């Protein structure tokens, strides 16, 4: 003897409905299929915007570090600032374009912040270099790398 399924709602031949099985026969009771649970779709990533923000933070951090240590235009600091600022602007612009094309503008704020931090770091570096070469009062000492040790203020 075959075992019959227990009573319950089962998919009908028409896949839009379920039909009630009473344990021995199908009844006339039908109901629409329950809506499926929404699938969690992760938002699209914008790695360019994230990379722009990180490199902008690094460039701005190196500017703050250079000013805090009083090293002025140390070639290593200048190289790190230029590299970080170049990356933040160079990655931020395509990241901003990608954010404009994505639903929800994913990464827009990160790209903008990265571009702004990179531009600010470039501006700060250029300002220090311009002050050095325009004859502003500069302490004549140099550091071990040959850069000007600090600007008197």
Quote the mean pLDDT of the chain: 82
Judge whether residue 94 has pLDDT over 80. Answer: yes
The pTM assigned to this predicted structure is: 0.60
Which residue shows structure tokens 């701005």?
60
Collapse the DSSP code of 83 into the 3-class scheme (helix H, G, I; strand E, B; otherwise coil) and give the result: helix
Judge whether residue 71 has pLDDT over 70. Answer: no
**Which pLDDT value is given to residue 153?**
46
Highest mean pLDDT among 25-29, 73-77, 114-118: 114-118
Higher pLDDT, 141 or 26: 26
Q: Quick one: which of 103, 107, 100, 97 has its CA closest to 54?
A: 107
The tens digit of pLDDT for each residue in 123-136 reads 988 887 777 777 65
Domain boundaries, the chain: 1-33, 47-133
**Which pLDDT value is given to residue 132?**
72
């Amino acid at each position: 003897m075959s075992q019959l399924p227990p009573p319950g709602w089962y998919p009908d031949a028409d896949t839009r409905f379920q039909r009630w099985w009473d344990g021995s026969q199908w009844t006339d009771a039908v109901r629409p299929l329950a809506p499926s649970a929404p699938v969690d779709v992760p938002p699209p990533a914008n790695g360019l915007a994230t990379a722009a923000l990180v490199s902008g933070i690094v460039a701005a951090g190196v500017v703050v570090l250079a000013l805090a240590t009083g090293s002025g235009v140390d070639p290593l600091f200048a190289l790190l600032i230029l590299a970080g600022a170049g990356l933040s602007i160079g990655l931020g612009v395509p990241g901003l374009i990608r954010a404009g094309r994505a639903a929800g503008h994913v990464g827009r704020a990160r790209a903008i912040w990265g571009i702004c931090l990179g531009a600010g770091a470039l501006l700060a570096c250029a300002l220090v270099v311009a002050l050095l070469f325009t004859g502003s009062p500069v302490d004549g000492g140099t550091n071990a790398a040959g850069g000007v040790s600090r600007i008197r203020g």
